Homo-oligomer: A and B are copies of this chain.
Amino acid sequence: MQAVPQTLGRRERNKQEKLDRITAAARELFTQYGVDEVTTQQVAEKADVGSGTLFLYAKTKAELLLLVHNVKYAEALNSGVAAAEQEEAVLDGIMAIIRPIIKCNRVQIENGRTYLKEIVFGDPSEPHHAEALALTIRTEAAIAEVLGRDEQLMARDPGKIARVISAIMFVSMSSSANSGLTDEQVGDEIRDQINVVLAAGS
């Protein structure tokens, strides 16, 4: 019997180190070449682990992408929420939240689309997927908060409206029809749709 070591024991430390190496390897390769152009073998090699080990840390290749992309999405969301505080008008505030998210899902458009696909269609019981879902919930909450600043909208259901906006974002960012558009054009398309939802009473 031994006291619990402050440094979590070698086993735990090794696991953490491996996860870090895998995450770094996947991030670099996916970002540079795109998830479809990278094989799991390549990620395993770069992370210096066996190919089987990779799948102990991410159950599928898609989960590996979630692991990597969640970080970027979280950053985008944070910056968007911060920017939204500076805005007066509701629509401007919402667009301030959305714009960084569009950007982050279109820098490497293939990865962004695969990420969004996985959020909706992937296995929600997987940990990285659960984290992604938590992020979309945070996004909706942030949007709902901005909606709630307006009395008229407060009287409607900000949570439900935020959900609708979330669906609008998802489809507009994912659709193959929009692959060729610029970030601004996608943003415009989203804004127009939000506008028709909000401008209801006018």
A residues adjacent to B (C-beta < 8 A): 113, 117, 120-124, 133, 156-157, 160-161, 163-164, 166-168, 170-172, 174-177, 192-193, 196-201
**6 additional contacts, CB 8 Å, given A121-B174, A122-B176, A166-B171?**
A117-B121, A160-B193, A164-B167, A167-B168, A170-B170, A200-B200
Note all chain B residues with C-beta closer than 8 A to A122: 176
**A120 near B200: Cβ-Cβ < 8 Å:** no
With contact pairs A170-B171, A201-B200, A201-B201 given, residues A193 and B163 touching in the complex (Cβ less than 8 Å): yes
Cα distance A61–B51 when bound, in Å? Answer: 27
Contact between B123 and A176, CB atoms less than 8 A apart: yes
Which of B170, B177, B197, B201 is A124 in contact with, Cβ under 8 Å? B177
**Residue pair A120, B156 in contact (C-beta under 8 Å):** no
A171–B164 Cα gap in the complex (Å)?
9
